[in-house]
Structure formats: structure tokens, C-alpha cells
Structure 1
């Protein structure tokens, strides 16, 4: 082999090694993520290891991410509750935050304008703390009319655009896809008909996981 060819292949080998080391570093640097949410985040009605946060962390670890996901979900919490405690959730060791709130606002028929203002406050505080946010929305029914549904779902889109954060538009998107319909996936729910069972959480995580992984990949 000529010295020129040898030099070329040597440089290629070095480049490949550099890319490999860079990729490894991406996954090796521990990331702490706080998941701010309600009972869907908290894992209501499930064994601890079967909840959303533990299953999400396990999924990310399997993908090669060194990540610690903190469960900041409180059952029954509204967007107002999330706003009241986001300050202490954004501790110095938190690198990123998942915000998944609004379900209890909908169940209580709270004006989407109020919910939007609360979520806006949460996102503003995260921005002020220089903590990137992954926003999770929720698709809802027409219990309060079509206008309410459009305003409720639309607030997530508007906030994501305003704050320039990634949006996963529907927490239950994976369940809807698995059920093959826009509504109705009772086989993946607990007897209360609201909260996902362990299998339902697994489906949710498998659907949402790749987008959260992409979000985390942008942090480095």
C-alpha cells in the first residue's frame, strides 16, 4: 500500500473513532429530567415500576441514554397546581423538563384561557431557569362543545410556537394508534376508564419515547 493510500485510510480510521467517541459521549453524559404532570405522570393506580416515569426511564436507558427521570407528577393536579410548584421542581440539578398537564382542567371544565395562562407561566419559568421543555398536550372529547375542544387542544400548539418548544400533541396518541380508532381504547385502561394500565403505559412510552429521545439528543 502506498504512503498516500495509507495516510488516507489512517485519517478515515481516526475520523470514525472520533464519531464513535462523540456518539458515546452523547449517551454517556447523565441527564436529569423532571416530569411535571398529574396522575398520568404520577402513575396512579399502578405498581411503582409500572408507572409512566419508571417505564420512560427504562426505555431511554435501553436506548443508551444515561438519564434520571424525576417523577414530579401529582394526582389531581391542574395547570394551576403545576404553576404553583414549578419553581421548586426546577432545582439546579434539573437539565430538562417534561410538562404534561391539563387533563384535570378539562375534567373540571376550566376555561382553556386560564389553563393556557398557567402553562404559559410554567414555560416562562423554565425558560428563565434555562431549562428546555418537552410539552405534552392532550386530545379531548366534545363534552363542553366543539369550541371548547378546539380551544383546549389549540392552546398547546400556540404555546409550543410561542416558547419554541417541541410538542407531543396527545399523551394518549399511542393508545389511539394501537386501538386503531380516534376514540375508545378501554383494553388499555384501568377500571376507572381514565388512567392507563401497565400495558397502556408501555404503549404510550413506546410511542412518545423516540420524540423525547430526539429532544434529549438536542441538549448536547
Structure 2
């Protein structure tokens, strides 16, 4: 799971972040998987792009790309984000790795036009690449709920991370069904 502080489980105990919660849910469903946490707090899509080779060193069989939140928090242009995500998706395609792209929504303080352009990056990539699994908003049902977020109102609590894992699980199972047998 290539991501940022959400993936890394910022502010949570070891084992409470989304990768660990996703792994536990999949194992409970009889899928003997290991979900690698390739989340780095503060990472933008550019950071994810720069460390992609490092993240692939463990030779994953599929990749969840969960980047973009920090691009929005820093007000980086949607065009920059798109370029970085395209480069990441192209690199993964060259390796024939199945991909799940988890979308993000821009903070509202950047304006409606920025928000539309930002969201369109994810939906356009999903439309243009029918081979990827698309989950439109990583924090669906979690963002904005004080009971599911830490005091910073950005990072999920342990319960929020569990809910994130539960909600994205069907998309991840679709992703896993695309993994080629070894």
C-alpha cells in the first residue's frame, strides 16, 4: 500500500493502521496475504513516485496507490499530481502489477474549481485505465466525522482505520482476484 500518513497509521499504535487492518480482514476471509505498509507521513504523489522502486523491493503481487492528500493540503496543482500518478501507474503497468487507485478529495478551503480539478485527476485516470480498480475516496464515511478522526481532523482514529479497511475491502478483493498465480 503506497501512501502517506493515512497509510502509515499516523498517531496509531502498531497494528492499528489501514494496512494491518486490511490484512487482518483479508486473512479472516481466508486470504493468506501480507499487506506491506509503504506509507510515509507527509508524502505527496511526487514523493511516492520518487520512492516507488524502493517500495517495490519486496516484490508485491498487487499495489494499492493511496496518495494525493498532501498534494491537496499543500495546494499543489492537479496537473502535477496527475503527472506523478501517471508515472506511478505506468511503472506498475510495465511490471504487470494489478493496481487499486484510491482517490482523495481536496480540502474545501482551496475552492470549488480546484476541488473539481483535483477529484477529476482520480476519476479521469480510472476512466482512461479500465484495467485498474478504482476506489473513489479513501476516507469515505470517515472524513469529517470527529468520532473517527484524531484531534487534527485529518488522520483516522483506530476505529476510523478499521472502518476504512472495511469499506475498501470489496475493492481490494477485486484487486486480489486480478493477481496472476505464481
- TM-score, structure 1 normalization: 0.78
Structure 1 match to 2:66: 100
Deviation of 1:160 (Å): 1.6
The equivalent residue for 1:53 is: 19
Find out whether 1:187 has 2:153 as its counterpart.
no
Q: Point out where structure 2 has 5 or more consecutive residues left out of the alignment.
A: none
- In the alignment of these two chains, the number of paired residues is 179
CA distance in 1, matches of 2:70, 2:107: 13
Q: Which residue of 172, 175, 181 maps to 1:215?
A: 175
Q: Tell me, in whole angstroms, the C-alpha distance in 2 between the residues paired with 1:112 and 1:167.
A: 18
Structure 1: gaps (5+ residues): 1-34, 177-183
TM-superposition CA deviations, 1:3-50 (whole Å, max 9, x none): xxxxxxxxxxxxxxxxxxxxxxxxxxxxxxxx0000000000000111
Aligned pairs for 1:86-97 within 5 A: 86-91=52-57, 93-97=59-63
**TM-score, length-normalised on structure 2?**
0.94
Q: Indicate the SS of the match to 1:99.
A: strand
* Contact 1:174 1:206 survives alignment (8 Å): no
Residues 134, 171 of structure 2: 8 Å contact kept: no
CA 1:48 to 1:92, structure 2 compared with 1: closer, same or farther past 3 Å? closer
User: Does residue 39 of structure 1 match 2:5?
Assistant: yes
Q: CA deviation at 1:199?
A: 0.5
Kindly report the root-mean-square deviation, in angstroms, between the aligned alpha carbons of the 2 structures.
1.3
In structure 2, the residue corresponding to 1:171 is in which secondary structure?
coil
Taking the aligned partners of 1:93 and 1:195, their CA distance within structure 2 comes to: 28
Indicate the residue corresponding to 2:84 in structure 1. 118
Match of 1:170 among 128, 133, 137: 137
2:36 to 64, 70, 92: 70
Bigger relative contact order (CA 8 A; separation at least 6): 2
